[in-house]
Amino acid sequence: MAWPENVGILAIELFFPSFYVDQTELEAFDGASTGKYTVGLGQKKMGFCTDREDINSLCMTAVSNLMERHQIPPSRIGRLEVGTETIIDKSKSVKSVLMQLFTPHGVTDLEGLDTTNACYGGTAALFNAVNWVESSSWNGRLALVVCGDIAVYAKGPARPTGGAGAVAMLVGPNAPLVMDRGLRATYMKHAYDFYKPDLSSEYPTVDGKLSIQCYLNALDNCYQLYCEKARAQAPAADSVGLDAFDAVVFHTPFCKLVQKSLARIGVNDYFMMPPSKRPARFPGFEKFEQLALEDTYFDKDVEKAFMTYYDEAFKAKTAKSLHIASQVGNMYTPSLYTGLISYLISESAKNLVGKKVALFSYGSGLASSMYSITVTKDVDQLQQMLDKLMHIMPTLERRQKVAPKEFSEILEIREHNNHKAPLEPSGPIDGLFPGTYYLKSVDHMHRRLYDRVPK
């Protein structure tokens, strides 16, 4: 059999909570210096969930919305895979809960389970789905990938980097967003930069400085290997580097790190370039000649010089991917794909056709990959995808702002109710978006019952 052609993302759907806290107001409430969250982190608003929503409800809403919006019958799905680090059961998968959406339609032949490693699980699930479509196991049906998380932190400097949401992606052949075959670069390593050893708590243990170094080190390794594979595919090409991409999308713990990361790719281009060619491309950077790449992670002179040099590249290739992240926050596994959506809805179909997009996925602990997609040249097919995403910006504007004091109290309730059974959640239902699944109750055996807000 010939390989299915143009395998990639056929459709994509984003769901985020209906409540948010303003980061400027949160700065004042926390007693932080003005601009610490908004300028220092690059965050404007942060979405959050009450005790009415959990990882199961987020993923059920995303899947239902995608299938209804695109009129996909459950029988068309042959693989369903979930990427998440929001674990509420040590045995039962989120995927098994999502089967409530399929078994009433007689669909039980559905491969795939959950994949977990911090923020990387969604990318692993996507790779698994693509591999399945391109394998001898493929039965002609489509794959559905779900990424979802609730990112919450204990009181302190990490709390403003939270967020929540879920992304669902339909994967199959003849897609408008085609995965570039053979151009995946992966870097895995053992590290304790961010982890969740306390199974009774939603809060992680974080080594902030180490986490940033691990992220940038993983980016270095993935980017260099991606370039090596790209050169092997096209040895006659003039060059492989940042200029080869029309857009670059990153996992976004906070927006400011992404701006530094785009510049970091430029740092790699500098060090991969023969020294004799550097002065022409990077005039005035001679003072960095004696440095080694691994010595530059926290070098402020290098960071400032390359961020300034690549400021226009950042605005052209990456800034548009950060709008939703600045409004909702870090969603963990959906973060990268929220960035992709943000980029797509910022452009017209005519301007997007044929574009090459690089994506960098990172999950602490650590797991990372860089890969690329090529946007179809079929403007009508692409327009159909974009039309289904036009609800996102108006929905962002329909969210309800919650004062920082109430936000803090809601997180205290979540903390108190974590793993509690039996439980009758106290969060309001009338503030949820139409079509939202929510937690109705937890019985004495920890069995969770869900309901849905009417559309």
List, by residue number, the catalytic residues. Answer: 85, 119, 251
Do residues 97 and 67 lie in contact, with contact meaning Cβ atoms separated by under 8 Å? Answer: no
Buried b (16+ CB within 10 A) or exposed e, 232-242: eeeeeeeebbb
Q: How many helices (H) and strands (E) does the chain have?
A: 15, 16
Report residue 52: phi and psi, to 5°.
Answer: -80, -15
Q: How far is residue 351's CA from residue 72's CA, in Å, rounded to a whole number?
A: 28
Q: How far is residue 270's CA from residue 287's CA, in Å, rounded to a whole number?
A: 12
- Is the Cα torsion angle 176, 182, 183, 188 positive or negative in sign? positive
Report residue 164: phi and psi, to 5°.
Answer: -165, 155
Q: How far is residue 347's CA from residue 183's CA, in Å, rounded to a whole number?
A: 25
Do residues 355 and 367 lie in contact, with contact meaning Cβ atoms separated by under 8 Å? Answer: no
Within 173-321, strands assigned E span 177-188, 194-195, 205-206, 247-250
